[in-house]
Amino acid sequence: MSTHILRIDCPDRAVLIHAITGVLLRHGLNIIANSEFVDPETRRFFMRTEFAGEVDGEALTSELTASLPEGATIRLARAGNRDIVVMVTREPHCPGELFMRHAFNEMGATIRAVISNHDTLEPLARQFGIPFHHVSHEGRTRSAHETALLDVLESYQPEYIVLAKYMRILSPEFVSRYPERIVNIHHSFLPAFIGANPYRQAFERGVKMIGATAHFVTDYLDEGPIIAQGIIPVDHTHTAAEMAHAGRDVEKIVLARALRLVFEERVFLLGARTVIL
Amino acid sequence: MSTHILRIDCPDRAVLIHAITGVLLRHGLNIIANSEFVDPETRRFFMRTEFAGEVDGEALTSELTASLPEGATIRLARAGNRDIVVMVTREPHCPGELFMRHAFNEMGATIRAVISNHDTLEPLARQFGIPFHHVSHEGRTRSAHETALLDVLESYQPEYIVLAKYMRILSPEFVSRYPERIVNIHHSFLPAFIGANPYRQAFERGVKMIGATAHFVTDYLDEGPIIAQGIIPVDHTHTAAEMAHAGRDVEKIVLARALRLVFEERVFLLGARTVIL
Amino acid sequence: MSTHILRIDCPDRAVLIHAITGVLLRHGLNIIANSEFVDPETRRFFMRTEFAGEVDGEALTSELTASLPEGATIRLARAGNRDIVVMVTREPHCPGELFMRHAFNEMGATIRAVISNHDTLEPLARQFGIPFHHVSHEGRTRSAHETALLDVLESYQPEYIVLAKYMRILSPEFVSRYPERIVNIHHSFLPAFIGANPYRQAFERGVKMIGATAHFVTDYLDEGPIIAQGIIPVDHTHTAAEMAHAGRDVEKIVLARALRLVFEERVFLLGARTVIL
Amino acid sequence: MSTHILRIDCPDRAVLIHAITGVLLRHGLNIIANSEFVDPETRRFFMRTEFAGEVDGEALTSELTASLPEGATIRLARAGNRDIVVMVTREPHCPGELFMRHAFNEMGATIRAVISNHDTLEPLARQFGIPFHHVSHEGRTRSAHETALLDVLESYQPEYIVLAKYMRILSPEFVSRYPERIVNIHHSFLPAFIGANPYRQAFERGVKMIGATAHFVTDYLDEGPIIAQGIIPVDHTHTAAEMAHAGRDVEKIVLARALRLVFEERVFLLGARTVIL
């Protein structure tokens, strides 16, 4: 029997949980796991329900819509592996982590392809049997480059796009094609050290911990809603280069952790924040 | 309007959330926060609901009982400060942490009294205006000592008893008087280093992290269900005494964190484990 | 036999450790612990040596000066408790932590006095038998207020001043009176969330971890060299107020940890960074 | 100019650092980094010195021996990549982590070969161009199996052997061939959950954190000196299988971190403990 995940967010009402579970029961669906959250400031209600059973998605959605207040978002997804495309530049540790998890079926996703503006990681992708597309930005305007990227991307119809140390900024036009569907790993504990070379910035500021932040990509650089963060301690013996080296471990683990949450459809947006159920 | 916390655990059924929220709605109660968990091995269902409104506890409980499967546990508690008694021996850091939080209304509990088998901490308790009872174990059998302790304890009718580095073992008879109501802090990362002098044991084993464990007290020493754990890194420069010193910070913070969970009625037992909602 | 701590920093030379240990040996001093560090970028050498024996400080310093390159800093301090003054405003958790450690001789320092621009914490200080000075800023210019603070401070001749959630900015003139001798705790993971209300800022940015930073105070707000940092995880269920509440635990522990390093004379400045030996 | 690492441990004397640095100076060697530690219980002195220059190893060692007390251990190693062999069984995450670091020159070692009692990971090793030897234990006594393993091992003359989730116990005879040269990763926070299936044990005990321990292998199962440990939080929602899954991330990172320390010749034994300089 198939399993699905229902995600609802809407203005809070006293009756919501009772009403939603009632609809699921009437559809003969069996709730496996359920979580809710009401944001105390905005009074917005969030609910994630995993259920088993034969589902008529259209009928379920329409009955739920009728039971919920105006402004409700209802999303239904099958449980299981997502189809994704990974975008990279030259650094191997984050892509390598994802390829390895993919190879041993531990990521909750199938990497359909890798796209890069450099060909550095082509051998690594090929070694794992993953199609690699080199879409160089050289001699192209940003707009022309993004058009070329989109051509490749769209041929795969990915559910999510993962920027695994993709080091070029994507335009708002590009990003708006994939709302809540692009995940980036930034190599700092945001909002500290926005922008280029955060490890050098961290070194010069003399911090005693460095971090990494996985976030959805929105229009503004490094300002997307945060999904997961991690840190590791450093000290005066670390040069900027050694901070970068140490940081790789936390980057790849934080990215993998965030992706797991995203692929299990646990992450909701609440303004600039995320709710994770 | 008053706030209450309803805790239910029972064998899982498809209809439970819908049924329980239905009862609450019929009683005109407004759900503020709700969490559920179904243990996949035992198929036991757990639910914690915070709600506001005028509640007729007896009617609510009886209607819930009628809606739930055999073997359900239903507990209803008002939200707010708990009445507790703290038992100590000679070490000040855990009691001091609790006294300070109590003084500034940050613990979710009112410390009604402190009981100790030594008078070492009497000045500290008095300084915070908390009644202190010195119930010496000297010249008394364990049974006679526990009877004397119980005499004092029962005069306060505490909802919870906190062993804040109380260094004597309590008998099963004593413990059985307060099921799920005695919380202890053990100065190791259980189940490593059960028993006496865990820091010495940790030092000799050459561990690179030391920990603390807050747990409910059951019949068996240091084997009660774990509520919270914490660790801090140590290295070869720490002597056993310095490990103990470093460990105090994690002990007191872990104890305070566990108590917060307990006092907010978030902790359920599931065999030897806890479910925290 | 008394124990001292020698701290040296100077341009690196191949012969330094050999030369310095030679001087100590000739003075009949017994090295207990020794640490060195050479910064690879600036080629500056740092050394901290704990030694036992009767020391003629002037002769030792002068012989060391003769053995070291131009630009050497030589500092000699007795080991043991420091005399400190604690400055506070209204929040009790950091001062309370220090008072408790002081009371049980766990801080490596004697709190000679507490100074505050409010009288809120006077009862807490008095309860621990620590002199409390209320130096209100109301109706005074900043300059007049600081003069009044300095009058009290100087009467105690503190070796270090600890800002334990002292919520007013000190002028560069004030700070320059106590170079490398004022330690502050900032309630964020610097350099994220500089300035006022960092927990509100953190909440709005949707971070998944909050932190605290202990640093030396220099002329520029929240930009002093970092001594210690710590973090705790938070999630969407934390309101800004709950983040602040959770943050208190990490603030007080990070402050205490930083002070231990400072009081043991382990912290050296290297530009905007610290070297901790 | 080549770089070497000198490791000395011996009974403590006042003059040691001065004497040792004197020998290095006389040999025209330039100290890059230096660390010492004296264990307060055993009064044993440990020193690790990185130096640059043309070294006559025999002359240096003999002059050092003459300057040091009886019972000194002096070890000299070139800095740089170690030659290692990795032993695995069927789990890919730890070997995969090492292969990836090896491929991108981030491990401080060259993996000369992989040996396994199963052929499961042969494709992964081959994909990275690393020789793979399948030495099955089936139909062989333990002794015969170990002889076959040793035949392969000795053909590579490895400086270190890494057990990257090698799931068979090695005999004391085998282990004694490689003293302080076999590193294992154990999937628990030792000494909790010694032996088989630690995640199941951890699950049943209801711990709130799971860990991993990298240690030298000695005669006694899971009792070798600990090099590094790490933990991650878990809760009641983790099944035993999910704990195992979550634990993989900490296992592989802890193993990689321990290996870095070992390959940089930073780890000394002190009875059952390690000193890490």
Along the 277 residues of chain D, how does pLDDT read in single tens digits? 789 999 999 999 989 999 999 999 999 999 999 999 999 999 999 999 999 999 999 999 999 999 999 999 999 999 999 999 999 999 999 999 999 999 999 999 999 999 999 999 999 999 999 999 999 999 999 999 999 999 999 999 999 999 999 999 999 999 999 999 999 999 988 888 887 788 999 999 999 999 999 999 987 766 899 999 999 999 999 999 999 999 999 999 999 999 999 999 999 999 999 999 9
Q: What are the tens digits of pLDDT across the range A198-225?
A: 899 999 999 999 999 999 998 776 689 9
Is B274 in CB contact (< 8 Å) with chain D? yes
Q: Are C272 and C190 in contact (CB under 8 A)?
A: no
Measured between beta carbons, which residues in chain D are less than 8 angstroms from residue C25? Answer: 14-15, 18
| pLDDT score recorded for residue B192 | 83
Q: What are the tens digits of pLDDT across the range B9-53?
A: 999 998 999 999 999 999 999 999 999 999 999 999 999 999 999
| pLDDT score recorded for residue C194 | 83
| Average pLDDT over every residue of B165-192 | 92
Q: Are C247 and C187 in contact (CB under 8 A)?
A: yes
Q: Quick one: tokens of C52?
A: 């036992």
- Average pLDDT of every residue of chain C: 95
Between chains, do A228 and C205 touch, taking CB under 8 Å as contact?
Answer: no
Q: Write the single-letter amino acid at A211.
A: G
Quote the minimal CA–CA distance from D154 to chain B in Å. Answer: 31
Displacement of CA C197 from its chain's centroid (Å): 22
Using 70 as the pLDDT threshold, list the residues of chain C that sit under it.
221-222
Q: Find, in chain B, the residue whose alpha carbon is nearest to that of C230.
A: B232
Q: Are D247 and D232 in contact (CB under 8 A)?
A: yes
Quote the minimal CA–CA distance from D242 to chain C in Å. Answer: 21
Closest CA to C156 of C106, C207, C102, C111: C111
Q: What are the tens digits of pLDDT across the range A140-185?
A: 999 999 999 999 999 999 999 999 999 999 999 999 999 999 999 9
Between chains, do C25 and D35 touch, taking CB under 8 Å as contact?
Answer: no
Q: Find, in chain B, the residue whose alpha carbon is nearest to that of D258.
A: B208
Is D128 in CB contact (< 8 Å) with chain A? yes
Measured between beta carbons, which residues in chain C are less than 8 angstroms from residue B93? Answer: 100, 104, 106
Residues B138-153 as b or e (16 or more Cβ within 10 Å = b)? eeeeeeebbebbeebb
Residues C76-103 as b or e (16 or more Cβ within 10 Å = b)? beebeebebbbbbbebbbbbbbbbbbbb
Is B226 in CB contact (< 8 Å) with chain A? no
Considering only the beta carbons, identify the residue of B225, B237, B273 that sits closest to D37. B237
Distance CA D170, CA D142 (A): 9
Measured between beta carbons, which residues in chain B are less than 8 angstroms from residue A32? Answer: 38
Q: What are the tens digits of pLDDT across the range A2-55?
A: 899 999 999 999 899 999 999 999 999 999 999 999 999 999 999 999 999 999
Q: Find, in chain A, the residue whose alpha carbon is nearest to that of B43.
A: A32
Q: How confident is the model at residue B195 (pLDDT cuts 50, 70, 90)?
A: confident
Q: Are C226 and C274 in contact (CB under 8 A)?
A: yes
| pLDDT score recorded for residue A221 | 64
ipTM for the whole complex: 0.94
Quote the minimal CA–CA distance from A59 to chain C in Å. Answer: 32
Q: What are the tens digits of pLDDT across the range D225-236?
A: 999 999 999 999
- What backbone phi and psi angles, to 5 degrees, belong to D139? 70, 15
Quote the minimal CA–CA distance from B204 to chain D in Å. Answer: 7
Within B82-121, where are the H helices? 93-103
Considering only the beta carbons, identify the residue of C96, C245, C257 that sits closest to B100. C96
Is C31 in CB contact (< 8 Å) with chain D? yes
Within chain C, where are the H helices? 16-26, 57-67, 93-103, 122-127, 142-156, 172-176, 198-205, 240-263
Length in residues, chain B = 277
Quote the minimal CA–CA distance from B123 to chain D in Å. Answer: 35
Q: Are C72 and C10 in contact (CB under 8 A)?
A: yes
Displacement of CA A69 from its chain's centroid (Å): 28
Q: Best mutation site among C18, C27, C51, C277 for testing chain D: the one with the most D CBs within 10 Å? A: C18
Measured between beta carbons, which residues in chain A are less than 8 angstroms from residue D248? Answer: 106
| pLDDT score recorded for residue B48 | 97
List of residues 6+ apart from B121 with CB closer than 8 A: B88, B90, B92, B95, B114, B132
Closest CA to A264 of A250, A276, A254: A276
- Mark which residues 231-260 of D lie under 8 Å from A by CB: 245, 248-249, 253, 256-257
Does the pLDDT value for residue B221 go beyond 70? no
Measured between beta carbons, which residues in chain B are less than 8 angstroms from residue D274? Answer: 206, 236
Between chains, do B253 and C249 touch, taking CB under 8 Å as contact?
Answer: yes
Is D66 in CB contact (< 8 Å) with chain C? no
- Catalytic member of C119, C219, C222, C249: C222
Distance CA B183, CA B161 (A): 6
| pLDDT score recorded for residue D189 | 85
Q: Which chains does chain A touch, 3 or more C-beta pairs < 8 A?
A: B, C, D
| pLDDT score recorded for residue C221 | 64
Q: What are the tens digits of pLDDT across the range B42-92?
A: 999 999 999 999 999 999 999 999 999 999 999 999 999 999 999 999 999
Considering only the beta carbons, identify the residue of D97, D104, D257 that sits closest to A92. D104
| pLDDT score recorded for residue B257 | 97
- Catalytic member of D12, D222, D235, D249: D222
Distance CA C150, CA C128 (A): 23
Between chains, do A226 and C205 touch, taking CB under 8 Å as contact?
Answer: yes
Between chains, do B18 and A38 touch, taking CB under 8 Å as contact?
Answer: no
Displacement of CA C222 from its chain's centroid (Å): 14
Is B168 in CB contact (< 8 Å) with chain C? no
Q: Best mutation site among B48, B208, B237 for testing chain D: the one with the most D CBs within 10 Å? A: B208
Residues D98-110 as b or e (16 or more Cβ within 10 Å = b)? bbbbbbeeebbbe
Within chain A, where are the H helices? 16-26, 57-67, 93-103, 122-127, 142-156, 172-176, 198-205, 240-263
Quote the minimal CA–CA distance from C68 to chain A in Å. Answer: 23
Does the pLDDT value for residue B6 go beyond 80? yes
Displacement of CA B258 from its chain's centroid (Å): 6
| pLDDT score recorded for residue D151 | 97
Q: How far apart are the first and last CA of chain B?
A: 23
DSSP string, B151-212: HHHHHH--SEEEESS--SPPPHHHHHTSTTTEEEEESSSTTTT-SS-HHHHHHHHT-SEEEE
| Average pLDDT over every residue of B131-154 | 96
Distance CA A132, CA A254 (A): 24
**Residues of B carrying an active site annotation:** 222
Between chains, do A206 and C274 touch, taking CB under 8 Å as contact?
Answer: yes
Whether C222 sits among the annotated catalytic residues: the reply is yes
- What backbone phi and psi angles, to 5 degrees, belong to D119? -100, 10
| pLDDT score recorded for residue D221 | 64
| pLDDT score recorded for residue D191 | 84
Considering only the beta carbons, identify the residue of D92, D104, D253 that sits closest to A104. D92
